[in-house]
Structure 1
Amino acid sequence: MKAVLDGVVIAEADRDDLASIEGNWYFPPQSVREGALHKSPTPYTCPWKGTAQYWNVALDGAELTDGAWSYPDLYPGAVERVGKDFAGYVAFDRKVVVSD
């Protein structure tokens, strides 16, 4: 699967390597192109996943503030709820097109 912003591939991985959570595809961190994500100070905490790290997406002219997020330190029970360890996996804003 690919995550594409303004024609630029931001991440790419096999579907089996991703996690599908609440309508979002979470990509393994190693599948995200180097230099595509830049830490954002935007705060958010999910009641069952934990504290999110938001990311600004900027690569090859494609830019989106707070266009991605991940959960580096999952709350107890999150892995069991999803059925997969998704710590550090990256999900994208709806403006980033995720497709096969």
Structure 2
Amino acid sequence: MYTITIQDAPNDLPERTRQDAEQRFRRTLERALGGPDAVLAAYRAWQTAEETAESEMTADDIALAKRWIAAAARARNDGFRDVGETEAWFEVRLDR
């Protein structure tokens, strides 16, 4: 469905710490949004919002994109909880 990876992480970040952070990010997203299918829908709505004028979007898509932003911020905080200060970020990639 989708893959989550940490990008631009420090070279000395242990693999286990990386995997745990990615799992925390995924779990928080899925809890906040209502499961894997809801994560996909919200992510797609957010992608659409990034490329489309708000006036061209439905109210439901706008609301879903806003839910993505809030859930992703919470997931980012949870994901990096044990990592410390970093410039890294989580990439969500849809599986084809």
Same fold (TM over 0.5): no
The interval holding the TM-score normalised by the smaller chain is under 0.3
How high is the TM-score relative to the length of structure 1? 0.24
Question: Which fold has the larger relative contact order, with Cα–Cα distance below 8 Å and residues 6 or more apart in sequence?
Answer: 2
Structure (1 or 2) with the greater strand fraction: 1
Structure (1 or 2) with the greater helix fraction: 2
How high is the TM-score relative to the length of structure 2? 0.24
